[in-house]
Structure 1
Amino acid sequence: MSVPARGRGRLGFGAAGPRRPRHTVRPEQLASLALPVGDDGVVVGVDGEGRPAVLGIVRPTPYDVMLIGGLWTAQVLALRAAATGARIVVETGRAPAWEGLVRAAGGDRAGIALHEVGRVPPQGPSAGSPVVVVRDCGIRPPRGRVASGPWQSVVTLLPYLSPVAAGLMEKSSLVGIQRVSPDEAEQIGRLMCLGPDDTRALSTLTDGVTLWCTRRDRQFVMIRATDAESGLLGDARRMD
């Protein structure tokens, strides 16, 4: 049997590459290779230790989010969700409050569209074209024509704890709460099974801070607006 000449390609594997020492890591060194990466999604701010807090809004399963808070926070979330590639559909009864954002972001080219309350058409979401519907429909939002579904999430904004809030909280997978009155904080604490400290904190939160919670988990998060966001939306504010 003849031996292949040096430099001739090996059968099925191509030419042999250069010989170098292997790169190995001892088990005790593995921790040093860890990367500070959280879940995929929208960076909704930073936690108490300054680490990015990421909210996975776009999902292959129905996902409902409720935010008791200000328009400023809802608009920051919309911009950041659009930046991740989601199409943003805003159902609102106060279109002038959103038109500046839509124009600055590029409108339909950026995947942000405005619709009157009750006039949102079917969106046809998919894994390649996910949708986030932002419902800014006042304190008693009517039943939406477009509900959450695979690759289509719904974020409902309430300015304060309205009579329909309890039902929306029950339906929602995640609830965000910004500063509320002490009475509202007590009601929310009971509905969301918050501890006494978290409940009391709700009436003292500064602008831009949100408690994101389920009935099992909770995290206080502060939005640090980018220069572009501040230039477009102004400073963080709870009331509009």
Structure 2
Amino acid sequence: MLPVSGAPVSGASMPGIVRPGQAQPPLGAGTVYGAVEPATLPERSRPRRLRPFSPMRIGMHGVSRTALQQIEVPGSSSGLMLGQDGNKVPVLVRMFRDEPTRLSLIGGLWAARVTVFRALAMGARVVVFTGQPTEWKGFGRWATGRDDRVAVMSGERAVTVGATATSPALLLYDVGLNGAQQPPALGPWQTQLTVLRQLTAYGFPPVQASNMVLMQRLAPNEAHAAASVLKLTDETVSLLQLLRDDMLAVLGGQADRYLWLNPTQIENTQFGAAHR
């Protein structure tokens, strides 16, 4: 299972995707790479402003004790920040790793868009396989100001997407209750995200194959279906039915998490109010 940081609470090459080693155009003026909204980020996750070092003499290789004390080391946690838990602690998910990764999201389009938007901010290239391509039309251009960061495919296709630690790949499958009929062969820094807008027995295989499962609020029948496939406790089944529209449950890793996504002003404006 994937680790999650934060305190616990209970064969064809695809056009438009730049391969590693190819020259890449400069980042555009899209939302992700444009204005930053530091005021909307949790205080603990805002970039720290380091104080200037004490002057050093040219030729010296040592640093004074005073200068050393002025060095601040950021936290060791890394990953995609989904939101905050009930203690206001940022919750980060290792969405991209140096090994194949499979995730499932039981929820709606709103949560899927927020997740992809934040993955783009980490430098990811995204391929969306969907039966409703109009829902994702223009997403990449809006988010990044470029046309080579997001590719939208109608239905499932065989594609090849290069991935590195600094430019990982996210393959999102929003293709119905069954998930992907032919799951892709993944490599390092490649992640498959299966979106199930409703959980039924047809969706059990991708859920069981996931390293981590994200859930919006579930209907009673969905919660009990999740319990049967994930061996959930009665308490978890109850909590999954009580989540607010702007919340997610993260099941897997060292412990389950329940978090608020805390959408930014940009996300609210583009995707609308949180909903299932």
TM-score band, normalised by shorter chain: 0.7 to 0.9
- Distance in 2, Cα, partners of 1:16 & 1:34: 24
Q: Structure 2 counterpart of 1:113, which letter?
A: A
Of 209, 227, 240, 2:247 maps to 209
In the alignment, is residue 195 of structure 1 matched against residue 255 of structure 2?
no
Quick one: distance in 1 between partners of 2:209 and 2:63?
59
The aligned counterpart of 1:22 is 65
Corresponding residue for residue 147 of structure 1: 185
Q: Compared with structure 1, are the counterparts of its residues 20 and 137 closer, same or farther at alpha carbon in structure 2 (3 Å cutoff)? A: closer
CA RMSD of aligned residues (A): 2.7
Structure-1 separation of matches of 2:63 and 2:221: 69
Rounded to whole Å, the distance in 2 between the matches of 1:20 and 1:100 is: 51
Which residue matches 1:231?
A: 269
Q: Secondary structure at the match of 1:164?
A: helix
Shift of 1:21: 6.3
- Range with bigger deviation, 71-80 or 133-142: 133-142
Classify 1:93/1:36 alpha carbon distance in 2 versus 1 (closer, same or farther; 3 Å): same
Given the superposition, is the C-alpha separation of residues 153 and 215 from structure 1 closer, same or farther in structure 2, using an over 3 Å criterion?
A: closer
Structure 1 length-normalised TM:
0.80
Q: Give the unaligned 5+ runs of structure 2.
A: 1-56
Aligned mate of 1:41, from 79, 103, 128: 79
2:111 maps to which residue?
73
Q: State how far apart, in whole Å, the 2-side matches of 1:154 and 1:88 are.
A: 10
Shift in Å at residue 109 of structure 1? 3.9
Number of aligned residue pairs: 218
- Shift in Å, 1:110: 5.9
1:137 Cα deviation (Å)? 0.7
- Structure 2: distance between partners of 1:24 and 1:123: 45
Contact residue 123 and residue 131 of structure 1 kept, 8 A: yes
Q: Distance in 1 between matches of 2:79 and 2:63?
A: 40
Aligned to 1:133: 171
Which of 113, 116, 124 aligns to 2:151? It is 113
Structure 1: stretches of 5+ with no match in the other structure: 1-13, 26-32
Change (3 A) 1:19 1:209: closer
Q: Which has the higher contact order (CA 8 A, sep 6+)?
A: 2
Q: Based on CA coordinates, which of the two structures has the bigger radius of gyration?
A: 1
Residues 64-106 of structure 1 deviation map (CA, whole Å, 9 limit, x = unaligned):
0001111111111101001111111111111111114233124
Give the residue type in structure 1 aligned to 2:160.
Answer: P
**What is the letter of the counterpart of residue 199 of structure 2?**
L
Pair 1:171-2:209 in alignment: yes
Quote the residue 2:224 is aligned against: 186
Deviation at 1:60, TM superposition (A): 0.7
